[in-house]
Amino acid sequence: METGHHQNRRAFLGRTGGIVTACAVAGLTGSGGTKASPAPGKPAAAEAETRSLTDQHYLLTNVRLEEGFAYDGDVVTATRTALHSLEIKAGKFVALHAADAVLPAGVPTYRANGQLALPAMRDMHIHLDKTFYGGPWQAPLPRQGKTILDMIAREERLLPQLLPTSQQRAEALIALLHSKGTTVARSHCNIDPVSGLKSLEHLQRALENHRDDFSCEIVAFPQHGLLHSKVDGLMREAMSMGVAYVGGLDPTNVDGAMEKSLDAMFQIALDTGKGVDIHLHEASPAGVAAIGRMIETVEKNPALRGKVTISHAFALATLAPGALAETASRMAAQGMTIASSVPLGAMTMPLPQLSEKGVFVMTGTDSVYDHWSPFGRADMLEKANLYAQLYRGSDEFRLSRALAIATGGVLPLDDGGKRAWPKAGDGADFTLVPASCSAEAVARLPERSATFHRGRMVFGSVGTA
């Protein structure tokens, strides 16, 4: 299979001259097309559109915003919306004008044609640094009978083949994220003996090219084991290169020393003043013990409070209700966060129960397309849809609440039906969809027609006046 990788890489490199175009095309049309479906209220006649909008100060008219819920008794039966003109200046919403308001004169004006504005999506667990996306089709090798250590051995062979194009692939994946309405992310980045700091350097170059259209914090991820691959020193170097979080990985199954591994990870965070975001897949009693050890560590070290995320945390799905409630309460008290990919399978993660206890739950698209998984679409709205399906959220109110997992908790309406977003002064980070309300968007997954980051259109098109 190594030969196959080599052939694929050569084929990929063979068209280096076209890589930027190829990436752009992959990002823009690989997502299922750039033309929005006709939006509610969109005129039938063809009209002028633009793909370029970089004005510092402009108006976006005919934007659908949510106004409140409609009720039958105490049951939410529908969402009320109205058209507005958004006035955007220096990356922020400065005014929301009613549809019939007199608009400021002399300001460049664009049209959203009745499409709904949703808060920009936030992909809080993704691996931008070692993706297959942007290259030729390649399925993962069979996983049957393979341990995580077998997978690490595979990755040791694969990384040198991916590294020469990892920057371009990361940028192609950022373009795909834009096309799905995502402009903010947290990316894990391999720190391992094979790639050294190269994966990080390439990812940082990719992010530098997108500094105006994409915000991304980085987790230094010891994918081959913090102790197992002896990368403590490399991890500390990564911390000095602008990385925000110390990562970790299965301290029992990979490092074979739960307490020592976790202590080493936290020590790097404490020494460098950074946060922690650990991959914990262990669904065994050892995984439960690791979560307990992490909670204790944060309880003893106030400097870590509010700065620790456990990614996946499958062990929480094995807890009895009483133990889960106690664990969740302790996590909430320390401001600990869960990042879950909302997995399908025999175990259902207790995400609503964690949220009810005050644990902040976020999600991400994780391995969009790499040697771990080929199925990701990099679509956070799809994660909200999955959340609604898994946790019986098929009614208007629960569909509208499910959006929170895709947007980092930002919702157009609060639970009482008052508009919470957007407000004057908020960052102009949003995406336009041909849907009548967020409940419909979560259920029906419309294409995104335009995405905005700090007021700048980073994907799609809008009508010109």
Closer Cβ to Zn ion, 282 or 366, answer by number: 366
Q: How many residues bind Zn ion (CB under 5 A)?
A: 1
Residue 221 CB, shortest distance to Zn ion, in Å, is 7
| Two tokens, residue 11 | 């084929």
- How far apart are alpha carbons 139 and 370 in whole angstroms? 8
Give the sign of the dihedral formed by CA 89, CA 95, CA 99, CA 105: negative
- How far apart are alpha carbons 252 and 246 in whole angstroms? 18
| Two tokens, residue 357 | 């206890």
Closer Cβ to Zn ion, 87 or 366, answer by number: 366
- How far apart are alpha carbons 308 and 248 in whole angstroms? 11
Closer Cβ to Zn ion, 366 or 447, answer by number: 366
User: In the range 6-45, which residues lie near Zn ion by CB under 5 A?
Assistant: none
Closer Cβ to Zn ion, 355 or 367, answer by number: 367
Closer Cβ to Zn ion, 372 or 398, answer by number: 372
For 386-412, give the DSSP string.
HHHHHTT--SHHHHHHHTHHHHTT--S
Residue 249 CB, shortest distance to Zn ion, in Å, is 9
Q: Convert residues 125-144 into a mask of x (bound to Zn ion by CB under 5 A) and - (unbound).
A: --------------------
Residue 364 CB, shortest distance to Zn ion, in Å, is 8
For 255-320, give the DSSP string.
TS-HHHHHHHHHHHHHHHT-EEEEEE---SHHHHHHHHHHHHHHHH-GGGTT-EEEEE-GGGGGS-
Residue 186 CB, shortest distance to Zn ion, in Å, is 10
Q: Convert residues 309-348 into a mask of x (bound to Zn ion by CB under 5 A) and - (unbound).
A: ----------------------------------------
Residue 383 CB, shortest distance to Zn ion, in Å, is 14
Q: Which amino acid is at 123?
A: D
Residue 382 CB, shortest distance to Zn ion, in Å, is 17
Distances (CA, A) of 376 to 55, 94, 154, 371: 34, 36, 20, 12
Asked whether 202 and 447 are in contact (CB, 8 A), the reply is: no
Closer Cβ to Zn ion, 216 or 411, answer by number: 216
Please report which residue ranges of 122-211 form alpha helices under DSSP H: 148-162, 166-179, 198-209
Residue 370 CB, shortest distance to Zn ion, in Å, is 10
Q: Convert residues 396-435 into a mask of x (bound to Zn ion by CB under 5 A) and - (unbound).
A: ----------------------------------------
Residue 247 CB, shortest distance to Zn ion, in Å, is 9
| Two tokens, residue 278 | 């650990």
Closer Cβ to Zn ion, 213 or 366, answer by number: 366
Closer Cβ to Zn ion, 127 or 448, answer by number: 127
* 282-297 residues labelled b (16+ CB within 10 A) or e (exposed): bbeeebbbbbebbbeb
Residue 125 CB, shortest distance to Zn ion, in Å, is 6
Closer Cβ to Zn ion, 86 or 128, answer by number: 128
Count of Cβ atoms closer than 10 Å to residue 106 Cβ:
7
Q: Convert residues 347-376 into a mask of x (bound to Zn ion by CB under 5 A) and - (unbound).
A: -------------------x----------
Of the candidates 351, 357, 350, 312, the residue with the CA atom closest to the CA atom of residue 331: 357
Site residues, Zn ion (CB under 5 A) = 366
